[in-house]
Amino acid sequence: MKTRLGLTIPLALVITGCGEAARESKTATPATPIAVTAATASEQAWPALYEATGTVRARTSTVIAAKLMGYVREVKVQTGDRVREGQPLVTLDARDLDVNSRRAEAALEEVRSSIPEADSAVAGAKANLDLTQTTFSRMQELFNKKSISNQEFDEASAKLRAAQAAYQMALAKRAQLDAQAARVQQDVRASEVARSYAEITAPFGGVVTTKTVDPGTLAVPGTPLLTIEREGAYRLEASVEESHLAAIRVGQPVAVTLDGIDRTLDARVSEIVPAVDAASRSYIVKIDLPNVPGLRSGAFGRALFSMGSREALSIPAAAVSERGQLQSVLVAENGVARTRLITAGSKNKDRIEVLSGLTAGDKVIFPVPQSLGDGAAVEVRP
């Protein structure tokens, strides 16, 4: 009897405990739903965009090269320096040019020193001609009166012709000096021009982007020394596939995004290069960019061309949660919040295109409360 009584008491306690637990579970109150608002995933007209990538280039860029051969004596700029128009950049060794210039100047001075002597010879020949002409006139009067012989008249005529020839010769020598002086002056100017080539200056204001020269380098005509780009005038050179070129025209507005600039730039197509790249079957479309701080050549950029519109399923972009490469939204289903993985497409203002994961009419919770998670009870309110 003692043994049976000992077993009976614990069993009664277990049965009593189970009954109390059952009663507590039956009387527990359900969780209060969280009030949320929702946006309906809907089909709407969506802009059809074509994205082309490219590189930022300066609209005005020039390669500086020497016009004559010579050793570089001094380089006055470095890569990244800003220069103004006419600023000296590179100086070449021009000692041989200086010698040629002095030689030409000496030749000009020699010619100029001979001019007074030639002028005197012309004046003497003219005076002798005038005297001979007067004498001949007198001799002709006497000859007409039969006062002199034929021999004397012939001698006077010969002297006149000789004086005229001497005068013409003096004039010719003087003209030769003028021509020689003009020729030597041209030599002097040519030597001065050649001498100016030894001082290489900036053709316009801009930034030095490339430097391939150092003091002691032999500068050869046509070999690049520096590259200068004009600041504030850049464009994006984008590669456009041949199939999309027909929809692009000069003057067309384009939205451009650039690495390093955290905003979209409003730009326009300025030029379409007619030649096609045989390897990629693409054309180069040049897009003028606005002048914005931080813009540099060589930057990577994307151009979005508008190609009309199409129907697309979209939701508010802020409703999408991103974790790594996963994109998800919370959808209200039968009073419960459920997580849906989606594939998002392009953005347009404050909305984003949904490629997969949702259907039209789904209620996407937006905005998402801080404490709301998958499986929570929700009540969608207007």
The string of pLDDT tens digits covering residues 366-377 is 998 888 888 899
Contact residues for 98 (Cβ-Cβ < 8 A; gap 6+): 195
Element of type H or E holding 241: strand 234-241
| Mean pLDDT value of segment 7-21 | 41
The answer to whether domain 49-58+231-309 and domain 68-92+198-229 are alike in fold is: no
With a cut of 80, say whether residue 322 has pLDDT above it.
Answer: yes
Query: How many whole angstroms separate alpha carbon 273 and alpha carbon 74?
Result: 40
Q: What is residue 3's predicted lDDT score, i.e. its pLDDT?
A: 40
**Amino acid residing at 291:** N
> Strand, coil or helix: what is 296?
coil
If one counts every other C-beta atom within 10 angstroms of the C-beta of residue 157, the result is: 15
Percent of the chain with pLDDT over 70: 92
Report residue 30's pLDDT band, with 50, 70 and 90 as the boundaries.
Answer: low
Architecture of domain 34-46+312-380: Beta Barrel (2.40)
Find the range with the poorest average confidence among 93-97, 122-126, 212-216, 310-314. 93-97
Report residue 145's pLDDT band, with 50, 70 and 90 as the boundaries.
Answer: confident
Domain residue ranges of the chain, discontinuous segments joined by +: 34-46+312-380, 49-58+231-309, 68-92+198-229, 95-195
Report residue 102's pLDDT band, with 50, 70 and 90 as the boundaries.
Answer: confident
Find the range with the poorest average confidence among 168-177, 186-195, 323-332. 186-195
| Mean pLDDT value of segment 154-160 | 92
Query: How many whole angstroms separate alpha carbon 288 and alpha carbon 290?
Result: 7
With a cut of 60, say whether residue 260 has pLDDT above it.
Answer: yes
Is domain 49-58+231-309 classified as CATH 2.40.50.40?
no
Q: What is residue 246's predicted lDDT score, i.e. its pLDDT?
A: 87
With a cut of 60, say whether residue 364 has pLDDT above it.
Answer: yes
With a cut of 60, say whether residue 19 has pLDDT above it.
Answer: no
| Mean pLDDT value of segment 134-138 | 92
Query: How many whole angstroms separate alpha carbon 337 and alpha carbon 331?
Result: 6
CATH class of 95-195: mainly alpha
Q: What is residue 242's predicted lDDT score, i.e. its pLDDT?
A: 87
Contact residues for 243 (Cβ-Cβ < 8 A; gap 6+): none
Q: What is residue 269's predicted lDDT score, i.e. its pLDDT?
A: 94
Tokens of 19: 């009954």
CA distances from 221 to 157, 218, 224, 262 (A): 65, 10, 9, 43
| Mean pLDDT value of segment 266-283 | 89
pTM above threshold 0.75: no
Tokens of 1: 């009897």
Q: What is residue 29's predicted lDDT score, i.e. its pLDDT?
A: 45
Architecture of domain 68-92+198-229: Beta Barrel (2.40)
| Mean pLDDT value of segment 277-281 | 82
> Strand, coil or helix: what is 54?
strand
With a cut of 70, say whether residue 26 has pLDDT above it.
Answer: no
